[in-house]
Structure 1
Amino acid sequence: MDTQDVAELCFPQLFNTSCKKPAIPRSIVMFSYIVLSSISFLTVALNLLVIISVSHYRQLHTSTNILLLSLAVSDFLVGVLVIPGEILRNTACWTVGQLTCLLYIFVSLILTSASVGIMVLISVERYVAICDPLHYPTRITHRRVKLCVCLCWLCSIAFSCLLVRDDLHQKSRHNSCIGEYDLHQKSRHNSCIGECIFQVDFIVGVFDLILTFIVPVSSIVVLYLRVFAVVLSHARAMRSHVTAVTLQQSVTLTAKKSQMKAARTLGVLIVVFLLCFCPYYCVSLIGDDFLNGSSAAIVIYVFYFNSCINPVIYAMFYFWFRKAVKHIVTLQILRSGSSEVNIL
């Protein structure tokens, strides 16, 4: 091996097993760092505003907002942990160790599964609110929503543990300080030192595809098709009776309009989520060879970019979020009794 080939390795002293440095032009690397770092910063900042708003103001402690708070926590962690890890994983050698890679993959799996689960819970909550409003107060209580959110996170952790169980066992038997990670059990010997690979064998891949894509996405689509059918029905009914309403009917119509507006807003949230979420799994069905190229990074970034878009959707459709951000930025939140302020 000549001097030039050695210089292109992540670990020249381990030239027999070291990966080559990513062959990416420096200008593209710098551009990627700037863009992705900006996205990471915005993701952290915007979701932190959502977390502070929903946690602080008592009026915002609703069942719907509890779900949005959990989603914001997941998106916040994506901005803090996952996007920086993806920048390192796709633009440079992985030099921070095998254990760090394992933890990174583990956290990524947890956040992905939790986000999908929360989206399903949001769909269920909207379905009950629109399609069965009389039983909504008794079926969708704060306690039940919090319990469902906790179960969602616990199931995500358990599911991720199953995916990385074999690799964790392998790590305990072969402790190494240089980063190498490969979830593909049948081709572990083909991996090289200096990379953090996320691959699964066929059986695990099918299992993951069913539980984190086919079942939840099908549930979300079916529930929201039903929700929007009812929303359209209510809208036609209100237009036909708009000229003849009593005061009591007006209050009822206002409540229905509020519920339908919430359904539309959360519908936009879910549609954007599906647009960002589906490409990875759709492309993965084509084959691993396609995913191993630059397309893999693109579809992964598109998915994680959704974490930055969600707070923007809140700002566009929720007046309470814009008002809460104004209170936070102007430090009115620090005043005594600010949690009781009328924010709606």
Structure 2
Amino acid sequence: MNSTSGYEEATPRHFLWSPIEITRFVLLISAGCTIVLFNTLIIILIAKYRKLRTWTNCLLLSMAVADLLVGVLSIPTHLIADVSLLGKHIMWCIVLNIPTVIIPTASIMSLIAASVERLLAIASPLRYPLWISRRRILITVIFIWVYSVTLGLLPVFGWNNIEERRKTNHPLRDCNFAAVMSGHYTGLFIAGNIFPGMVFLLCLNIKLFIIVKSQRSKAPSIGNISRSGSVAGLNDGRQAPHVPQTPVQRSRRVVFILLVICHVTILCYIPVCVAFVVDYQWFTVTTITEWRAPYILYAIGTFLGAINSLVNPVILGFANREIRKHLKLMCRLNLTKSDSSNSMSLIMCSANRQLS
């Protein structure tokens, strides 16, 4: 083996038909189908019902689109790269790994935008209408996706390790992200985008939690309304009038949803980010010459990325009362339509029989 180049020391990490890899293959396909189903439901609900089209939900809709693309695009291309279905041409491998950059970037930036929007709404409710508008939300979403796609396409336009492989006359032995992407580009992606994005997202949500908690303690207590429903000071036992929720109370659940999604996202992205840092030696090398991180770390990171896109719509659906209510409404309407269509078909059949 040529020890001077060091490339031959890195054993190929292609897809092997072992029981563990087959299980991972089946789990990823199952997760991809479920991701498409759940995120499609969230997208349809927010697009269909006007009451759900809040600014926060519009930004979370961008995240749902990113999660949907995980099932539609990221998982299939990852599995195609693993089995080298399109061969091991380096440009094909680069194209197959583009979703690995675009989707996490768009997802984290959408979460950051939603957290900033909630922070402005809670910290400065009077100035909120001056800062947030439909035009600014639309510009934010467009910027998120233009930036993510531009970052993902940089390797196609030359920021890759093709030239170094040609100089060393080293054929491509793997088709995964770490095998075809330049170390400096991966450093920009991980150390310049994902890590700062996760830290900023965590700080934003901690700030949100502190503000909501302080406002909750300062809010006027409604404890004078007894659990039986009668108002303190009234002796006639009349039922207390309905007390509407304050903006802080309505925002508390949204902040809780953002906190949960934020922590789940960070935990799911950490393993694969650590693997990249280890293999690229803190992004000081252009091409990986020796696999240092265990392969299981990449496998776990890929699976957790799919789980993150699967869990996000579940959190939105179960923790958001309005989304849950409109989901039940949509299911009820569809059942009613199906029942009415069935009854109409029965009537038409009986009418045809009588005519015949």
TM-score bracket, shorter-length normalisation: 0.7 to 0.9
Higher helix share: 1
Q: Is the 8 A contact 2:59 2:110 kept in 1?
A: yes
Counterpart for residue 237 of structure 2 = none
In the alignment, does 2:81 pair up with 1:79?
no
In the alignment, does 2:54 pair up with 1:52?
no
Residue 334 of structure 2 aligns with an amino acid whose one-letter code is Q
In the alignment, does 2:22 pair up with 1:30?
yes
Counterpart for residue 228 of structure 1 = 209
Judging changes above 3 Å, is the alpha-carbon distance between structure 1 residues 195 and 277 closer, same or farther for their aligned structure 2 residues? closer
Q: Is the 8 A contact 1:183 1:198 kept in 2?
A: no
The offset of 1:234, in angstroms, is 1.6
Counterpart for residue 237 of structure 1 = 218
Per-residue displacement from partner, 1:146-199 (whole Å, max 9, x unpaired)? Answer: 1100011011112222233216xxxxxxxxxxxxxx746534543336734444
Matches within 5 A, 1:1-344: 22-25=15-18, 27-90=19-82, 92-95=83-86, 98=89, 100-166=92-158, 183=161, 185-187=163-165, 189-192=169-172, 195-199=175-179, 200-238=181-219, 241-243=221-223, 251=244, 254-288=246-280, 289-291=291-293, 293-332=295-334
The DSSP-based 3-state class of the residue aligned with 1:224 is: helix
2-structure distance, mates of 1:101, 1:255:
49
Q: Is the 8 A contact 2:25 2:79 kept in 1?
A: yes
Q: Is the 8 A contact 2:268 2:305 kept in 1?
A: yes
Per-residue displacement from partner, 1:26-66 (whole Å, max 9, x unpaired)? Answer: x3343223211110110000000011000111111110111
The DSSP-based 3-state class of the residue aligned with 2:97 is: helix
Residue 307 of structure 1 aligns with an amino acid whose one-letter code is S
Per-residue displacement from partner, 1:47-100 (whole Å, max 9, x unpaired)? Answer: 00011000111111110111111111111111011112223333x233357454
Residue 86 of structure 2 aligns with an amino acid whose one-letter code is T
Per-residue displacement from partner, 1:5-26 (whole Å, max 9, x unpaired)? Answer: xxxxxxxxxxxxxx7964442x
Counterpart for residue 234 of structure 2 = none
Identity between Structure 1 and Structure 2 (%):
25
Judging changes above 3 Å, is the alpha-carbon distance between structure 1 residues 86 and 202 closer, same or farther for their aligned structure 2 residues? closer
Per-residue displacement from partner, 1:197-229 (whole Å, max 9, x unpaired)? Answer: 444333323322233223212221222221111
Judging changes above 3 Å, is the alpha-carbon distance between structure 1 residues 183 and 109 closer, same or farther for their aligned structure 2 residues? farther
Counterpart for residue 174 of structure 1 = none
Counterpart for residue 14 of structure 1 = none
The DSSP-based 3-state class of the residue aligned with 2:278 is: coil
Q: Is the 8 A contact 2:117 2:132 kept in 1?
A: yes
2-structure distance, mates of 1:44, 1:183:
33
Residue 156 of structure 1 aligns with an amino acid whose one-letter code is S
Judging changes above 3 Å, is the alpha-carbon distance between structure 1 residues 242 and 191 closer, same or farther for their aligned structure 2 residues? farther
Per-residue displacement from partner, 1:239-267 (whole Å, max 9, x unpaired)? Answer: x733369999x54x532111111111111
Larger radius of gyration: 2
Judging changes above 3 Å, is the alpha-carbon distance between structure 1 residues 113 and 334 closer, same or farther for their aligned structure 2 residues? farther
1-structure distance, mates of 2:65, 2:140:
15
Structure 1, unaligned runs of 5 or more? 1-18, 168-181, 336-344
Name the Cα RMSD after superposition. 3.0
TM-score normalised by length of structure 1: 0.77
Judging changes above 3 Å, is the alpha-carbon distance between structure 1 residues 23 and 107 closer, same or farther for their aligned structure 2 residues? closer
The offset of 1:131, in angstroms, is 1.5
Per-residue displacement from partner, 1:84-142 (whole Å, max 9, x unpaired)? Answer: 2223333x233357454333222332212211211211121121122222212221222
Structure 2, unaligned runs of 5 or more? 1-11, 226-230, 232-239, 281-290, 338-356
2-structure distance, mates of 1:44, 1:127:
30
**Greater than 6 Å deviation, 4+ residue runs:** 245-248
